[in-house]
Amino acid sequence: MVFKAAKWPRRLRSQEWYEGSGRDTIYHRGWLKNQGYPHDMFDGRPIIGILNTWSDLTPCNGHLRELAEKVRTGILEAGGFPVEVPVFSASENTFRPTAMMYRNLAALATEEAIRGQPMDGCVLLVGCDKTTPSLMMAAASVDLPSIVVTGGPMLNGYFRGERVGSGTHLWKFSEAVKAGEMTQEEFLEAEQSMSRSSGTCNTMGTASTMASMAESLGMSLSGNAAIPAVDSRRRVMAQLSGRRIVDMVKDDLKPSDVMTKQAFENAIRTNAAIGGSTNAVIHLLAMAGRVGVDLTLDDWDRCGRDVPTIVNLMPSGKYLMEEFYYAGGLPVVLKRLGEAGQLHKDALTVSGGPIWDEVKDVTNHNEDVILPVEKALTQSGGIVVLRGNLAPKGAVLKPSAASEHLMQHRGRAVVFEDIDDYKAKINDEDLDIDETCIMVLKNCGPKGYPGMAEVGNMGLPPKVLRKGITDMIRISDARMSGTAYGTVILHTSPEAAAGGPLAVVQNGDMIEVDVATRKVHLDISQADLDARLAAWTPKHELGESGYLWLHQNHVEGADTGADLGFLKGCRGSAVGKDSH
Ligand code: FES
């Protein structure tokens, strides 16, 4: 795509606030001067909002204030006017009932923070899982020039000489304790090794995935995704991004220029190649909805089908983000996709040029971390979209994290009505379950949980774990942490709380899964299914007020991105005049 830059100089939206000598201008400008800005800072230079998701309670983003200073330096160097603005920070490891319930609220609050204030462009300073999509959704809806800077992953963790991956080893160690292979004391000792430095999860979890999605969509500078949080080159990246956003404003290079259908297809293929999180499905669908790109679950299945997973990182493989960076990071993966004919090479990035120009000359420095295609973790790494009478609107599975022997399976359903029911029963030695069964979890979708918790990778029952079994098929309307693994069918749509067929599965029903034909089937007659659905009544209660009410009454299905329906689309940056 050839981008035609706008003419410069021209009048910017920030001058609505700061230009001239009228009473309102003096009100806006004069008050800001209490921070010590010289008068010539209001001469029509681009005002750049550094939208910062720093929070003490979002530890993954705990270092973003220091990074913001480097962004600020870059903006000043390029002749811009930086203003740092704190925005809603939805931390994955803190928010209850789940950070996902607040992704849309964060997007809504950030969208209004951009539109209602004098910004000409934005630097999205993000990191932890939901902070990246929420700010990108907001930027897409306002459509002012924007660039993503992520905080970067933590350094490798080590426990007794072995790599410890964020999240991935939390699940592993917890299963090992249940299976009697690890003591509680050892588990507590391991906790100290899990988070060695500032930064986001060091696995190819959702944070690393979304950083990679931002880069493959063209919304961050090339190479941004993998630089460790504490590496000096992360700070260089922040400064360069600060410089770049000023020129993006001058050129009027907007998210709608970058986030095209081609860019989304690049991101979907990238997700397959890196063995990325299933959460990317929901977030990219939601972003596409904001920017007006027609993206569907079928695009995920179609684009990812023939893409091998070549990034050997946990949870699918064995290394961590630090090694990914040293091997060359995402540009190497994008180059591979390009060489395989699986990249739209001319897709535009925030650099102002085509994505291929950014990656075509990079080198892979470690072929055990970024694998040759013939050694790929799986030859078909794309997110699989399953359909059938159990998931008429689709369900997803991540093949690189699943077990080959379960790709075609028929098993007896063991049903948990909600997560509390699961917790109450799973450790019961009398639970009628073995490794051939299929675990079914209901009422954990966007509306039902509420907020679509990351509980789809239910831990196995202890009596199965003690046999040395590490995987069973699990089906739910929940999500799964990007750091998790297993043959886990997620995002079943429509969700149980909205009356989807998942709601009427009963203990003892037989379920068939066939990944090759993309089928998930509840083996009962259509008449029985209809009768059960007709008799179904909602089990969850809707919130009566506040944001819970707003969320439950307006959240849409996972199959379209679980956005609030009234927030879809681009509303632009125009705002009415004020008068004081
Ligand atoms: Fe924040 Fe993983 S929990 S990045």
* Rounded to 5°, angle at Cα 519 from 515 and 524: 135
Single-letter residue type at 445 = G
Count of beta carbons in the 10 Å neighbourhood of residue 73: 16
Sign of the four-CA dihedral 201, 205, 211, 212: positive
Rounded Cα–Cα distance for residues 247 and 352 (Å): 9
**DSSP readout, 488-538?**
EEB--SS-GGGT-GGGG--TT-EEEEETTTTEEEE-S-HHHHHHHHHH---
54, 103, 166, best to mutate for ligand 1 pocket (most atoms within 8 Å of CB): 166
Whether 204 is in the pocket of ligand 1, judged by its Cβ within 6 Å, is: no
Who contacts 557 (Cβ-Cβ below 8 Å, separation ≥6)? 393, 445, 446, 493, 494, 495, 498
- Per DSSP, 560 falls in state G
Q: What is the pTM of this model?
A: 0.97
**DSSP readout, 264-311?**
HHHHHHHHHHHT--THHHHHHHHHHHHHT----HHHHHHHHTT--B-B
92, 96, 314, 483, best to mutate for ligand 1 pocket (most atoms within 8 Å of CB): 92
| Token pair for 64 | 């973003």
Whether 205 is in the pocket of ligand 1, judged by its Cβ within 6 Å, is: yes
Rounded Cα–Cα distance for residues 64 and 49 (Å): 14
Q: How far is CA 412 from CA 127, 439, 451, 475, 492, in A?
A: 40, 8, 28, 12, 18
Task: Name which of 46-55, 97-106, 274-283, 536-545 the model is least confident about.
Answer: 536-545
pLDDT above 80: residue 176? yes
Residue 308: cis peptide before it, omega within 30 degrees of 0: no
% of the chain surpassing 70 pLDDT: 99
pLDDT in tens, 317-367: 999 999 999 999 999 999 999 999 999 999 999 999 999 999 999 999 999
Say what the pLDDT of residue 1 is.
66
The DSSP bridge pattern shows strands 519-522 and 510-514 to be antiparallel
Rounded Cα–Cα distance for residues 577 and 116 (Å): 10
Say what the pLDDT of residue 580 is.
65
Contact in structure between 539 and 406 (CB atoms under 8 Å) = no
Count of beta carbons in the 10 Å neighbourhood of residue 66: 15
Contact in structure between 60 and 321 (CB atoms under 8 Å) = no
pLDDT in tens, 399-419: 888 999 999 999 999 999 999
Who contacts 458 (Cβ-Cβ below 8 Å, separation ≥6)? 416, 422, 426, 439, 441, 474, 476
Say what the pLDDT of residue 373 is.
96
* CA-closest candidate to residue 274, choices 229, 324, 322, 227: 324
Of all protein residues, whose CA lies closest to atom 2 belonging to ligand 1? 201
Mean pLDDT of the chain: 96
Please name the helix (run of DSSP H) or strand (run of DSSP E) that holds residue 236, with its range, or none. Answer: helix 232-251
Of all protein residues, whose CA lies closest to atom 1 belonging to ligand 1? 128
Mean pLDDT, residues 6-33? 96
Who contacts 474 (Cβ-Cβ below 8 Å, separation ≥6)? 438, 439, 440, 441, 456, 457, 458, 486, 487, 488, 489
pLDDT in tens, 199-228: 999 999 999 999 999 999 999 999 999 999
- Interval between CA 199 and ligand 1 midpoint (Å): 8
The DSSP bridge pattern shows strands 162-164 and 157-159 to be antiparallel
- Interval between CA 316 and ligand 1 midpoint (Å): 17
Residue scoring higher pLDDT (544 or 362): 362
Say what the pLDDT of residue 484 is.
82
Mean pLDDT, residues 304-308? 94
Whether 129 is in the pocket of ligand 1, judged by its Cβ within 6 Å, is: yes
pLDDT above 70: residue 180? yes
| Token pair for 393 | 């609107």
| Token pair for 512 | 């068939």
Q: Which class for 345: exposed (0-12), middle (13-18), buried (19 or more C-beta within 10 A)? A: middle
* CA-closest candidate to residue 172, choices 157, 187, 160: 187
- Interval between CA 471 and ligand 1 midpoint (Å): 24
* Beta bridge partners of residue 410, listed in sequence order: 512
Q: Which residue has the tokens 């160097």?
A: 77
Rounded Cα–Cα distance for residues 110 and 489 (Å): 32
Question: How confident is residue 579, by pLDDT bands cut at 50, 70 and 90?
Answer: low
Whether 128 is in the pocket of ligand 1, judged by its Cβ within 6 Å, is: yes
Distance between first and last Cα of the chain: 45
At 420 the three-state DSSP class reads helix
Residue 129 Cα: closest atom of ligand 1: 4
- Interval between CA 44 and ligand 1 midpoint (Å): 39
* CA-closest candidate to residue 386, choices 476, 493, 515, 557: 515
Sign of the four-CA dihedral 335, 276, 259, 229: negative
Say what the pLDDT of residue 348 is.
98
Whether 201 is in the pocket of ligand 1, judged by its Cβ within 6 Å, is: yes
The DSSP bridge pattern shows strands 438-441 and 473-476 to be parallel
Whether 92 is in the pocket of ligand 1, judged by its Cβ within 6 Å, is: yes
pLDDT in tens, 431-459: 999 999 999 999 999 999 999 999 999 99
All domains of the chain, ordered by start, with CATH? Answer: 46-155+197-322+329-375 (3.40.50.2300), 158-193 (no CATH), 384-540 (3.50.30.80)
pLDDT in tens, 364-400: 999 999 999 999 999 988 999 999 999 999 999 998 8
